[in-house]
Amino acid sequence: MKGIKLVLFDVDDTLYDFERNWQLTVESVFQSHPLTSGYEQKRICSLFNRYSEMHWSKTVCGELTFQQYRRLRLQETLEQFGETLLDEAFDSFTQAFIETSLSQMQADVKVRAVLQRITEQYAVGIITNGANDTAREKLARLGLSEFFPLNTVIVSSDVGVGKPDPAIFDLTLKQIGYRAEETVFVGDSWSADIVGALNAGLHAIWFNPKGVEPLTTHEPLAIIKHLSELEHVLKDESQKNNKN
């Protein structure tokens, strides 16, 4: 095995706590926006979560655009209350949702420190399944833009395909200029990040802070609970390679 030269990262739930951000955003926007504030909050939020989850995979594979996804999850939620969604209300709700979510993102000194040290030795990049109108702004709010120049940030809704499709890994490697065998992918999602990376011929390190069980027999290089473990794993790998 050749040595690792490029470290690719997932963003949501790897570089920041997406789940917490999502939950806070949903609660805050549904409660404050005139379109949704009049409904029973627990019910409307849980319906929204359900429709969001239901349509996510179609969005990742490019069957729905991100904007269609945003509309569908809200439209179907409101239909449960006999409401139709008008364009103007959709636009204003979506803007509030994006702004609220972004406003809660803050730089994490620990994550920044890890990236600082990793980038001293390795090239880095991003593959994220998400919206192209927010992905780079997220990195800016998280204080991570300096580590990831624009051409190293690959967003599924920009390229029309998402993880775990090998195509997004292939085009990322081509764009950043490394081979699969000298690249490791770091992410929290077994099915999107780990299965996706390994099937595309990359190495993978599973960020698994909650200690969930793997869903398949794929074998990542390592499983870590904290991002700070990453350096040790990469160092061990490079020592192993030097001995071979």
> Cβ distance 190 to 217 under 8 Å?
no
Q: Which is nearer to Mg ion, 12 or 237 (CB)?
A: 12
Element (H, E) at 206: strand 203-207
CB 129, min distance to Mg ion, A: 8
Q: Does 188 bind Mg ion (CB under 5 A)?
A: yes
Which stretch, 9-17, 61-69, 152-160, 221-229, contacts Mg ion (CB under 5 A)? 9-17
How many whole angstroms separate alpha carbon 240 and alpha carbon 244?
7
Nearest Cα residue to 141 out of 10, 11, 8: 11
Q: Which is nearer to Mg ion, 100 or 189 (CB)?
A: 189
Q: Which residues, including other chains, have CB under 8 Å from residue 10's CB and lie 6 or more apart? A: 126, 127, 128, 163, 185, 186, 187, 188, 189, 192, 193, 207
CB 2, min distance to Mg ion, A: 26
Q: Does 165 bind Mg ion (CB under 5 A)?
A: no
Candidate list 10, 77, 111, 164; residue touching Mg ion; CB under 5 A:
10
CB 64, min distance to Mg ion, A: 19
How many whole angstroms separate alpha carbon 108 and alpha carbon 205?
21
Task: Using DSSP, state whether 151 is helix, strand or coil.
Answer: helix
Q: Which is nearer to Mg ion, 188 or 237 (CB)?
A: 188
Q: Does 13 bind Mg ion (CB under 5 A)?
A: yes
Q: Which residues contact Mg ion (rule: CB under 5 A)?
A: 10, 12-13, 188-189
